[in-house]
Amino acid sequence: MDARYPEWLEALERKTRSEQRDGYTFVTKPIPEDEADAPGRMDPRVYAVQKKLFDEMPQGFSLPLDPSDPIAFAKTMRALMGWDNEDVTGGAVSAVGRTIEGSGGPIPVRIYTPPGERLRRAIVFFHGGGFIGGTLRTVENPCKCLALRADAVVVSVDYRLAPEHPFPAGVDDCWDAVRWVSEHAGELGVRPGPLAVAGDSAGGNLAAVCALRDRDERTGRIGYQALIYPTVNMGALPTEEGGEWKLDAYEISDEHRDVIIPDLLAMKGDGTNPLLRLYLQDNAEPDHPYAAPLHADLSGLPETLIATAEYDYLRLEDEAYARKLAKAGVATTLIQYNGTSHGFMDKSGLFPQVEDVMKEIAAGFRRAMNRLEEKERATE
């Protein structure tokens, strides 16, 4: 870890800006050491990583893969995912792996518990990976940070992946994990009552879908959701809230165009979205609310935090999701991390934004749980 890391982390908190936008709270996190806050630039740490990846790949960020062989495609993509990251908690959080029984078979989970014997609230976390990849290992250190910052038991879920297990297998596993944590609160050291769901990218989608399912089935298990650059409209279908992708929505300086634009265009692809095809496999339409939450009725959902990266292809649809949540009466906060790109969360210890977003999720989680407890007491 760089010796300047604590300074960068402090700057992210000190330079935070907040405003009201379209009915929700919009928070901006500038690049830590950029005192001039010059627009259009990448965080130097993010740029260095992205530039290295771009230069090492024969065709830049483009992947010359044939998705007609889904298994080979998935294996190639999985090999490119993940990052060796650091435990910023100094080993304070314990990790225990176990397997739970889901409706579709066994589900591996990893349980993170902060030091000290007491009952805590729980957060169920779902890793990203485009529904075809990702592992518990990739998000282990961010989950440890979240557990410590939130003083919560964090349960990370290794749900089934496409194409071997298409929609709704992953959704079912994640929902089964939420149910299991709720039903086994005592043995986990978890307080009975509502818990939170969180996740990054595809995992953010699954967290949002679990919140929808909780509302639809009226189980009252989920009281807060934290979505880190979630995919909420993989089919890029039009919605009343907008969110359609366009390059000119991004302010990009000449200094970093060589990485920012190819990265955005690579995520945009050619419009066919092989990840969506591998995930759904004709089991649902692209606008199914449990596949694309932006097309769902969002009324009655719990308090929501959305974290976005300024130079992420998904940023615009995430902003549309925040607008729709707010319009439905859901208390919503969106935090934009300037100078970052999709996937920054798995670089714990290198990017200070990772620890900062866990701090923000933890703070929002505690506030939401406290409000729920106050509401419960008022109705007694």
Q: At what angle do helices 169-183 and 202-217 cross, to 10 degrees?
A: 60
Q: At what angle do helices 257-268 and 44-56 cross, to 10 degrees?
A: 70
DSSP secondary structure of 112-160: EE-SSSS-B-EEEEE--STTT---TTTTHHHHHHHHHHHT-EEEEE---
**Contact call for residues 70 and 81 (beta carbons, < 8 A):** no
Sign of the alpha-carbon torsion through 38, 40, 44, 45:
positive
In the residue annotation, 103 being an active-site residue is answered as no
Q: Which of 287, 288, 281, 292 lies closest to 166 in space, CA to CA? A: 281
Q: Which of 157, 151, 182 lies closest to 358 in space, CA to CA? A: 151
**Contact call for residues 257 and 145 (beta carbons, < 8 A):** no
Which residue is catalytic, options 201, 299, 341, 348?
201
Greatest C-alpha distance within the chain: 64
The residues annotated as belonging to the active site are: 201
